[in-house]
Amino acid sequence: MRRVLIITYYWPPAGGPGVQRILKFVKYLSEFGWQPIVLTVNKGNFPAYDQSLIDEIPAEIRIIKTANWEPDLLYNKFTGRKEENIPVAVLANKNLNWKTRLAHWFRLNIFIPDAKIGWLPSAVQAAGRIIREENIELIYSSSPPPTTHLIAQKLQKKYKLKWIADFRDPWTKIHYYRNAPRMAIARWWDEFLEKKVVQDCDGITTASRMFQELLPIDKAKLCCTITNGFDDEVMGIPPEPEKGFTLLHAGGITANRYYQEFFAGLESFLEDGDKRQVTRLVLIGKVNPEIISRIRQYIPAENLQISGYLPHHKALAKMKSASLNLIFLEKLADYKGHIPGKIFEYIAVQRPVLGAGDATGDTAQIIANSGCGKVYAAESDWLEIFNNAYNDWQNGKEPEIDREYINQFHRRQLTAKLAEFFGEIL
């Protein structure tokens, strides 16, 4: 069996879609002739933890964890944060005190490409031992953080191995860098590192076709789009019993994914007393406190449930019982190809899906093609949309699902595609 070294910062007990992408590749690669060996951090600083994902790691997989230094403890002490874990896209927050703004300035201008750069020395050293011991043929690094690619880049040069760089998100063009307070030299250096990584790697995989357009990729570079997906546990988990008309959103909500029109329409819908009595909006995941305050302006407390981050299996149980699973898409014009990972589990549980955002983008097409629902533009008549969805729920109308279309996003199918790409690179 051929051996691939996978370099990832996010690994169980970290939670979130980025972890599941790599975890599922590791789970299925052996079926396609590849034995993965994982290099990760010993004690990472993760925005979310999910101990249940540890049980999904195949017992036969070798995992090497190395020491890392991160500025997060200094960040928390300086800014007065009580949470140990710094949330994803915290750099996008705007209503900040001066200490937090200063800390963000340091992160954006000193720690380049990211605050995980302190992991690089120990990772490169440990990887060298792995390569010599395990007869590694291929390196696969997954970002964010981009530090994983710098580790792989050094290994490629020293050991003359083939290397594929995986981009779950863009690098310098990621949304929370826009309008960020970066010095010109910091921005230049970050873009230089990005360009060198893209030039030096032998192939690129991206979680969305659009991400290839946000990277400085030469036309001759071998690229492959491998989306996120769903796995067997979606089918095996029983739905959590729910009463009433339940609207569920799984995942974070930032200012860029907040649609005032949606919540104003829901407020109007709740003016009907009968509907208000049976309707609940459930938010799973870490939602920006400022966004929660905005939502509370429209949704009465008795109709709003904020659950915070839940283990993956519990989130799936709630998705399977929801009357409507909600998705709020990025508002950025060049992010129309962005495909949130939860979409694939939404369509896999085969419950109705309702989205707000670009109705012509890749996510909207996937939802429509699956038969699960539809994405509507922000300026749509949301009161009518909610009334129609409520009537469908009352009448027991189920979506007309295209199971064959949905099955292409099973993690085994996606891993088969990855293994095929490995073969192309070698």
Please work out, in degrees rounded to the nearest 5, the angle formed at the alpha carbon of residue 315 by the alpha carbons of 281 and 345.
Answer: 100
Looking at the predicted structure, is the pLDDT value of residue 106 above 70?
yes
Which string of DSSP letters, residue by residue, matches 271-288?
Answer: TSHHHHHHEEEEEES---
d(CA 158, CA 96): 43
**Higher pLDDT pick, 99 / 338:** 338
414 and 377 in a common domain: no
Cis peptide bond prior to 113, omega within 30° of 0: yes
**Which pLDDT does position 88 carry in this prediction?**
47
pLDDT tens per residue, range 278-299 = 999 999 988 888 899 999 999 9
180 and 242 in a single domain? The answer is: no
Same-domain check for residues 341 and 330: yes
Shared domain check, 203 and 272: no
178 and 268 inside one domain: no
pLDDT digits (tens, 9 = 90+) for 347-359: 999 999 999 999 9
pLDDT for res 315: 92
71/202 same-domain check: yes
Best mean pLDDT range from 44-53, 74-83, 234-243: 44-53
Phi, psi of 155 (to 5 degrees): -65, -40
Which amino acid does the sequence have at 53?
L
Q: What is the extent of the structural domain holding 124?
A: 2-229+410-425
Confidence of residue 80 (pLDDT cuts 50, 70, 90): low
Nearest alpha-carbon partner for 245 in 283, 277, 284: 277
Residues 99 and 196 in one domain: yes
The total of structural domains in the chain comes to 2
CATH number at residue 291: 3.40.50.2000
Per residue in 166-191, pLDDT (tens digit) is: 999 999 998 878 777 889 999 999 99
Among 151, 161, 139, which Cα is nearest to 38's? 139
The pTM of this model reads: 0.90
Q: Can you tell me the mean pLDDT for 85-89?
A: 50
Q: Indicate if 369 and 415 belong to the same structural domain.
A: no
The distance from CA 392 to its chain's CA centroid, rounded to whole angstroms, is: 31
83, 178: one domain: yes
Structure tokens at 284: 């799973």
Same domain for 100 and 46, yes or no, is yes
- pLDDT per position as a tens digit, 153-169: 999 999 999 999 999 99
Task: Assess whether 167 and 312 both reside in one domain.
Answer: no
